[in-house]
Chains A and B, each alone.
Chain A
Amino acid sequence: MNIEVIGNINMNSLKFYMKDYNFIENCAFGNYILDLFDENSSLYTSKSEMIILFIDIDELTISFDELVTAIEYFIVKTKKTLIINSVIFKPEYIDSFLNDTLEKELSYNQKLLEISKIYSNLFLFDLNKISKYNDIIDEKYWYMARIKYNKKGFELISNELNNLIQTYKFGSKKVLVLDMDNTLWGGVIGEEEIQLSNDGIGKIYLDFQKNIKKLKELGILLAICSKNNYEDGIAGLHHINSYLREDDFLIKKINWNDKASNIQQIAQELNLGESSIVFIDDNPVERSLVQEFLPEVNTPDFPKDIYTLNSWFLKVVNKYFAKINLTQEDLEKQKQYEAKFKRDLLSSNNSYEDFLKNLNIEIDFFINDEEYIQRYSQMTQKTNQFNLTTKRYTVADITKFIKDNTFTVIAVNYRDKFGNEGITGLVILDNKDNYISIDTFLLSCRILKRGVEAKLFQKIEELSKGKNILAEYIPTSKNIQTKDLYSDFGYEKLEENKYIKRGKS
Chain B
Amino acid sequence: MEEKVLQIAQELFNNENITNESKIGDFEQWDSLGQINFFMAIESELSVSCSPDEVIESDSIKKIVELLNSKK
Binding site for B on A (CB under 8 A): 10, 12-13, 16, 19, 138, 140-141, 143-145, 147, 150-152, 154, 382, 477
Contact B41 A12 (CB under 8 A): no
| A residues near B68, Cβ cutoff 8 Å | none
Contact A145 B44 (CB under 8 A): no
| A residues near B45, Cβ cutoff 8 Å | 151
| A residues near B65, Cβ cutoff 8 Å | none
A-B contacts, CB under 8 A, total: 38
Select B44's contact among A12, A140, A147, A152, beta carbons within 8 Å. Answer: A152
A140 to B49, CA, bound (A): 10
Contact B33 A13 (CB under 8 A): yes
Contact (A151, B44) CB under 8 Å given A16-B12, A19-B14, A140-B52: yes
Q: How far is the CB of B4 from chain A (nearest CB, A)?
A: 15
Additional pairs, 11, CB under 8 Å, beyond known A150-B44, A151-B45: A12-B33, A13-B33, A13-B37, A13-B40, A141-B40, A144-B36, A144-B52, A145-B32, A150-B43, A151-B43, A477-B28
With CB as the reference atom, state the residue of chain A lying closest to B14.
A19
What are 11 residue pairs bridging A and B, where the CB atoms are less than 8 Å apart in the complex?
Answer: A12-B33, A13-B37, A16-B12, A16-B37, A19-B14, A141-B40, A144-B52, A144-B56, A145-B36, A150-B43, A151-B43
B interface majority secondary structure: helix
A interface majority secondary structure: helix
Contact A144 B40 (CB under 8 A): no
A145 to B33, CA, bound (A): 8
With CB as the reference atom, state the residue of chain B lying closest to A145.
B36
| B residues near A145, Cβ cutoff 8 Å | 32-33, 36
A19 to B15, CA, bound (A): 12
With CB as the reference atom, state the residue of chain A lying closest to B13.
A16
With CB as the reference atom, state the residue of chain A lying closest to B56.
A144
Whether a CB of chain A sits under 8 angstroms from the CB of B24 is no
Q: How far is the CB of B45 from chain A (nearest CB, A)?
A: 8
| B residues near A141, Cβ cutoff 8 Å | 36, 40
Contact A138 B40 (CB under 8 A): yes
Contact A147 B36 (CB under 8 A): yes
Whether a CB of chain A sits under 8 angstroms from the CB of B55 is yes
With CB as the reference atom, state the residue of chain A lying closest to B42.
A151
